[in-house]
Structure 1
């Protein structure tokens, strides 16, 4: 009896050891590349038949419980068009939780030199057959006790390509087309990945790519949240061709199909600070922006709404050397910049003549635009008020402070064709003498309606109606001078009156500079005018009670005038 039991135990031990050796041999054989490739090719052949398509795999290496490497993997759709070509896929895995929790942990998944192609048709896509296979009708599904859970910790992309085309959408040749994307040199490092059926959270440590239209993402780092209704990017750093955007972006939508009409269907929530925005990057999304040039430093700004109707507040923008804009703005009509309306409120704009001469030609798409030379003396310009209209045709309502004085205005400015202006301009004291480089004319107040166009004496058209007040001329202050006139064809024709305790003068004048020798014609009716009080005479008591003076003079400057002056 004892011998029989001993014999049974010995046979059992030999059998157990044999089984263990067989299993060990099987495990060891599975680590041999030829064995793994043989099994992989059998699996690929099986899947090809199951899916009725072409699948290829060059090499596979599986280190049990640790890693999986695929090389030369290819997947095609049922028409024979490429879906995926992966030169190398490397997965570092952990199966410790598989047995108890049915979970496979992928510590790091690396895709190298992979090209993926996704195409959408009217009723399907090029991967529909895969989705149908993986999600068969309920009656065909086998009951399973637990769903298999994948936990991906890190995803790294090295020199990949993604091609997407939606054949149901209209396509655009000049701008980035979200229905026709070709992304190359895609490199990324996604960490801290958490996902369920509807959401993904991850830390994007690094991402860069180039889109076929020329848009380049040189760097992207952010804490990202993605769902089928929202994309939220916190601690954002985005570097593109010529721009740097920082801080926070949130996009809300009804579904990813809304991105095919991004400007009208996706809600945007931005909080931007210490960023740079260049118009050339916006032009990747709006062809009209190729006509506008600017480079802005955004100190801070918040914005909400859709791209075609956005409300921005607490804006602080700087550009050039000395230009600063602070305020709120509502923008309606983007991305068509030619039809986009801007409404700026609580606006403070600071600039200089030199900055404006650099900004306005680029902003108005007029390289030949020149500010009047005489405005150089205004130098620093500070505007407080509102601004409404198109980027090159707008209405202003506020106060302009310059080195020469302050002007209140309700007017319009138009840069679309020629420089045009129309409206009310008022000042209590403005250094007109400095503006006109005239030593005897100093400050003057005015209340004028001006309507004109042009920026030089050669193309100036101007209508003037209003009055001057407190005019300091030859150190005498004239109280009130009504004035009306026009400039056309290099000629000023005007009339006015001096209504002052020491002078009563009505005048009509014509100044013609269409020839090198400028012609000055003046007719003035002078009554009860004290020449001594007006500092025209050093002798007291010289008063002109009633006379008419006519001049007909010609010359290129005040020192070479010739002609005649008559009085009666």
Structure 2
């Protein structure tokens, strides 16, 4: 016969609760002080405990002050449940359902063995408080949260995620957090499937300054506001992203793998980039260049003009340059800091060109070493010659030259 102990009302005032495991290097797992609680319908039935928590307030040893926790609580040998949960801290309010599933021996490896099932709705989370548990978030920000959680704390899956921050970032999708509470260096990973990630460079990197600030090239700051759809995998060592991005400058489709991301602006990368009606001139701070549509395979390093060094191969379908719209250009070669060494073929209406060689504008002394077969070039239509209405050129150009002004 099970032991049965019912109580209609239980209160605790100014209590202390400590969880200690002497087998650990740091025995004290956590400590609650200033503990005040009131429960009703309290029942101990053998190994099971049930009650209605009307009030539970305490101060956690890590610095979080819980002003009040309310829930329908249940503890059994294989699960612990907080139904109709409402937690209020000094800066946050969390509302929903929370359940832990376990074998009793799993508590010795809580973050890796105990399974979490949770659903949070219309919750308001302070990122400053969240840093107590995972010190990767920005400060002085709030996030409105709706999400379903499952898995262990070190392999936590957030589905139906809908987050809006006070810095106007919105995230809709599914994210898996790996090794959130692992003590191993560089073990954290984030795997995301985004239906909509709306933000800008400054707001998004402020959300998780170290993790996202180290994985998003600073050149993205120039595209303005953006909306991202796709998948990404981020660790301390690499970033894999297959995403569509609608920006203030135009459309980007990216399928890239980045490594050596300690200095993200000088990271290595390999993959494919598609631009559609994208104002690349605004990105390069060059007023002569406007919109482009292109599809390029890339393999190199660097995201700024100064440190760019990459192999490129692909097609430029449209390029607005110097007031003229070029079409049907293919290229293959090495592209660097104001350097191109490779092959360019143009089948534009006003430019038929087969170029092979080097153009180097990286130094004060410019360098040229190329051969160019010009089938046809209408220099007036291309806006290189405006004085004469008819100015055409055909021929073979072979050049090896250096000079200050060319």
TM-score range, shorter-chain basis?
Answer: 0.7 to 0.9
- What residue number does 2:148 align with? 302
The yes-or-no answer on 1:316 pairing with 2:166 is: no
RMSD over aligned Cα atoms: 3.3
Distance in structure 2 (CA, Å) of the matches to 1:408 and 1:305: 32
Matched, 1:162 2:8: no
- The CA deviation at 1:511 is 1.8
Aligned partner of 2:32 in structure 1 is: 183
Cα distance in 1 for partners of 2:21, 2:200 equals: 49
Contact 1:320 1:355 in 2 (8 A): no
1:436 and 2:284 are equivalent in the alignment = yes
Would the aligned equivalents of 2:3 and 2:45 in 1 still touch at CA under 8 Å?
Answer: no
Of 101, 108, 130, 1:260 maps to 108
- Tell me the alpha carbon deviations over residues 263-321 of structure 1, each in whole angstroms, 9 at most, x when there is no partner: 12212111012224456655655xxx435647562431112222233332111122352
- SS of match in other structure, 2:186: helix
> Which of these residues, 427, 442, 450, is aligned with residue 275 of structure 2?
427
Shift of 1:459: 4.2
How big is each residue's C-alpha offset from its partner over 1:411-438, in whole Å with a ceiling of 9 and x where there is no partner?
A: 1245740112432001232222333343
1:235–1:248 CA contact under 8 A, matched in 2: yes
- TM-score (normalised: structure 1): 0.61
CA contact (8 A) 2:324 2:383 kept: yes
CA displacement 1:347-384 (0-9 Å, x = unmatched): 321111331353463335759x9713xx4442111111
CA distance in 1: counterparts of 2:128 and 2:32, whole angstroms: 19
* Native 8 Å contact 1:303 1:311 kept in 2: yes
* Contact 2:113-2:152 at 8 Å conserved across structures: yes
Pick the structure with more strand per residue. Answer: 2
Matched, 1:237 2:86: yes
More helix by share: 1
Match among 319, 335, 342 for residue 495 of structure 1: 342
Cα deviation for residue 393 of structure 1 reads 2.8
Which one has a bigger Cα radius of gyration? Answer: 1
The 2-side partners of 1:245 and 1:449 are apart by 46
Q: What is the aligned partner in structure 2 of residue 121 from structure 1?
A: none
Structure 1 segments of 4+ aligned residues over 6 angstroms from their partners: 146-149
Contact 1:308 1:334 in 2 (8 A): yes
Label 1:387 to 1:223 Cα distance change in 2 as closer, same or farther (>3 A): same
Output the TM-score relative to the length of structure 2.
0.83
Gaps of 5+ in 1: 1-145, 555-562
Change (3 A) 1:341 1:450: same
Displacement, 1:225? Answer: 1.8
- 1:177-197 CA-to-partner distances (Å, cap 9, x unmatched) read 6x5443321111222323322
Shift of residue 547, structure 1, vs aligned partner: 4.9
